[in-house]
Chain A
Amino acid sequence: MNISDKLKSNPAALWSAVVLIACALVALPFVLAMAGTTWVRVTNLAILFTLLALGLNIVVGFAGLLDLGYIAFYGVGAYTYALLASPQFNLHLPFWIILPIGALTACVFGVLLGAPTLKLRGDYLAIVTLGFGEIVRIFFNNLSQPVNITNGPQGISRIDPISIGNFSFNGSEVILGINFSGPVKYYYLLLLVLIAVIVINLRLEDSRIGRAWQAIREDEIAAAAMGINTTRIKLLAFAMGASFGGVAGGMFAAMQGFISPDSFVLVESVMVLSMVVLGGMGNIWGVIVGALLLSFVPELLRHTVDPLQRSLFGRLIVEPEVVRMLLFGLALMLMMLFRPAGLWPSKVRRRELAEK
């Protein structure tokens, strides 16, 4: 990390860099909007998935517990929001009440998953968490009978947008002569949440609890001998990771206005885990890079593969979705071969894998 060291020793350069990045982030949605509002939406989803990847990084990267059902917490957060702010039960609570409730509910689910799996490691833990993710999704699918709670596979629609007083994040608005579309407004909100989550993650990593997580990842027996209550600290990792997932899920529900069990399938868990692994497990900045890459590249493909084939061959030969999965698989394989520690690994993983 030579660059960051250099920046640290030169506060003027550091601050100019911060201001520059901040300006770029503020201007970004308007630049994207020129290419189409879709791209702002894509960016918003990318930020949501970055939130998810950062949450999963606590469990997988810091504490070393493999979780293949993480998307369940995203789902729990989303459904909590949807049920408390939609015509489904005719409840319309404000977001600043629901988001914490969603985080808390997801947190409870995190503990529910964590408690029975405390003694499991590696493959076994992966299988149980995978099953957990599926169970939660199947509940979403089937809790429409005998009492209709989740509305089954049809999902829940007309979910309230996030609003503060009269200001709603849905719909366009002209402020100071500039037109802010709904997605642009959500972009700024998500950006704020993302910054908060990054700060929280950085602080957690460099704290008494964060060190305890890493100690457990490194050697559970030694950690216990140092007085770390491994049960409690592992549950804490599950709970924290799940809470982040819950918040992201709530924002997803509000932003989309519609959710169904289809958004919380196993592939999504795998995708979030891939983001963590691709970027560099345990390194917050690496995880962010991984999440952004895996969010944007498929969208770029979607918008290029189809027109490209039509202009070259006059018709569509290979579906964009197929190309996407093909390249995804190829990328993962190349990565395992050439950068097994991730694109931007933590110092830890890099050395660990270099030894082997």
Chain B
Amino acid sequence: MSALLEATNINKRFGGIEALSAVSMRIERAEIYGLIGPNGAGKTTFFNVLTGVYRADGGAFTFDGTALNVKAPHEVAAAGIARTFQNIRLFANMSALENVMVGRHVRTHAGIFGAILRGAGTRAEERAIHERARVLLDYVGLAARGNALAHSLPYGDQRRLEIARALATAPKLLALDEPAAGMNATETATLRTLLERIRDDGTTILLIEHDMKLVMGLCDRIAVLDYGRKIAEGAPAAVRNDAAVIEAYLGGELA
């Protein structure tokens, strides 16, 4: 079987800044693929280009065997890529359950007339959306918080709620932008278990993360970006000892 996601020579410039230059990577099915690098290396930009928030200046993505030609961000979710955001972007004034229910939007169909007439089909679909959202809240450990407004949740719960919302779109690839940021050690441990479970249930994960212990322990393979270039790729052990990587981090976090 082909790789799930293949990025070829992705370029992205912001004025004078070369945020991504000729970045290529292959993400295999059902692996956790880490994307690390110092601040400003271009990791989030890679997510934004992949999910259609920005248009790449060059390069191409192949996803699940076909060319990924997105004209608008919403098409990416339909194609099977869901993401979370570095600076949490929940629907703050909707309940946790409603947040996850919104995630079902792309896999459901009821339109305006369905909503007004509420026929049997619409009601069945609503029930299914509800049910799925409850299951996913439970899956990420937020079963008890369904009715809480998203912004009233503690930080760690918000991060997990974002994951549940992304999972609701039934993605093949789950792209997480620093999910452990701001979490304490216990929360990070729970997150790690959750991510392993997601992978074992068959969803591929692309993970941006600064927590090196988490990345090294969790990822099957890792790519390292520095100033928009991929400077290393491989198994955690190999990447950890790579001279260029150590150089990029100046011995900081890896030491």
Least Cβ distance of B176 to chain A in Å? 12
Distance, CA A204 to CA B113, complexed state (A): 9
Cβ of B158 under 8 Å from chain A? no
User: Is A222 a contact partner of B89 (Cβ separation < 8 A)?
Assistant: yes
The 8 A CB mask of B104-144 against A (1 = contact, 0 = none) is: 11111111101110100010011001000000000000000
Query: At the interface, yes or no: A207 with Cβ under 8 Å from chain B?
Result: yes
Q: Does B72 contact A (CB under 8 A)?
A: yes
Judge whether A230 and B74 touch: CB under 8 Å.
Answer: yes
Q: Find out whether the CB atom of A219 lies under 8 angstroms from the CB atom of B89.
A: yes
Q: Is B92 an interface residue (CB 8 A)?
A: yes
Chain B residue at smallest Cβ distance from A221: B89
| Nearest-Cβ distance from residue B160 to partner chain A, whole angstroms | 16
Flag A262-297 by CB within 8 Å of B: 1 or 0 each: 000000000000000000000000000000000000
Q: Are B93 and A224 in contact (CB under 8 A)?
A: no
Q: Is the CB of B106 within 8 A of A228?
A: yes
| Cα-based distance from A347 to B126 in the complex (angstroms) | 22
A213-226 interface code vs B (CB 8 A; 1 in, 0 out):
01100110111111
| Chain B: minimal CB distance from A205 (Å) | 9
Q: Is B191 an interface residue (CB 8 A)?
A: no
- Size of A's binding interface in residues, CB under 8 A: 32
Q: Choose from A200, A215, A221 the contact partner of B102 (Cβ within 8 Å).
A: A215
Assess whether B21 is interfacial by the CB under 8 Å rule: no
Q: Is the CB of B105 within 8 A of A225?
A: no
Are B93 and A218 in touch, CB under 8 angstroms?
yes
Judging by beta carbons under 8 Å apart, are A351 and B93 in contact? yes
A121 on interface, CB distance cutoff 8 Å = no
- Whether A209 lies near B91 (C-beta < 8 A) is no
- Given the known interface contacts A200-B116, A211-B98, the answer about A222 and B85 at a Cβ–Cβ threshold of 8 Å is yes
Question: Are A218 and B94 in contact (CB-based, < 8 A)?
Answer: yes
Is the C-beta of B68 less than 8 angstroms from some C-beta in chain A? no
Please indicate the chain A residues that have their CB under 8 angstroms from the CB of B92 in the complex: 218-219, 352
Q: Indicate if B238 sits at the interface (CB-CB under 8 A).
A: no
Tell me if B73 counts as interface (CB < 8 A to partner A): yes
Bound-state Cα–Cα, A227 to B108, Å: 11
CA distance A351 to B92 in the complex (A): 10
C-alpha gap A40/B194 in the complex (Å): 63
B5 in the interface (beta carbon within 8 A): no
CB distance from B105 to the nearest CB of A (A): 5
Closest CB in chain B relative to A194 CB, distance in Å: 16
Taking a contact as CB atoms under 8 Å apart, the answer to whether B105 and A208 are in contact is yes
Other-chain residue from A212, A221, A355 in contact with B53 (beta carbon distance below 8 A) = A221
Contacts of A214 in B (CB 8 A): 91, 93-94, 98
Chain B residue nearest to A282 (CB atoms) is: B93
Contact between B112 and A204, CB atoms less than 8 A apart: yes
**Complex: A203 Cα to B111 Cα, angstroms:** 12
Q: Which of B73, B90, B101, B104 contacts A224 (CB 8 A)?
A: B73
| Residues in A neighbouring B90, C-beta threshold 8 A | 218-219, 222
Chain A residues with CB under 8 Å of B107's CB are 227
Q: Is the CB of A227 within 8 A of B91?
A: no
* Chain B proximity of A201: nearest CB distance (Å): 10
A184, CB-defined interface residue at 8 Å: no
B82 proximal to A (CB < 8 A): yes
Interface presence of A348 (CB below 8 A):
yes
Interface pair A219/B91, CB less than 8 Å apart: yes
- In the complex, the answer to whether A209 meets B94 with C-beta atoms within 8 Å is no
- Enumerate chain B residues within 8 angstroms of A200, measured Cβ to Cβ: 116
Q: Is the CB–CB distance between B77 and A227 below 8 Å?
A: yes
Residue ID in chain B nearest A350 by CB atoms = B93
B102 A223 Cβ-Cβ under 8 A: yes
Q: Is B230 an interface residue (CB 8 A)?
A: no
Contact, CB under 8 Å: B110 / A225? no
Chain A residues, Cβ within 8 Å of B2: none
Q: Assess whether B152 is interfacial by the CB under 8 Å rule.
A: yes
Contact indicator A208/B74 (Cβ below 8 Å): no
Is the pair B105, A212 in contact by a Cβ cutoff of 8 Å?
Answer: yes
> A55 at the A/B interface (Cβ < 8 Å)?
no
Contacts A209-B112, A219-B90 known; list 4 others, CB within 8 Å.
A208-B129, A215-B102, A226-B165, A348-B93
Q: Which chain B residues have a beta carbon within 8 Å of chain A's beta carbons? A: 51, 53, 72-78, 82-83, 85, 89-94, 98, 101-112, 114-116, 118, 122, 125-126, 129, 149, 151-152, 165-166, 168-169
- Interface CB pairs A-B, < 8 A, 20: A204-B115, A207-B110, A208-B109, A208-B125, A208-B126, A209-B115, A210-B115, A212-B105, A214-B91, A215-B105, A218-B90, A218-B93, A218-B94, A224-B72, A224-B74, A226-B77, A226-B103, A226-B166, A231-B72, A348-B94
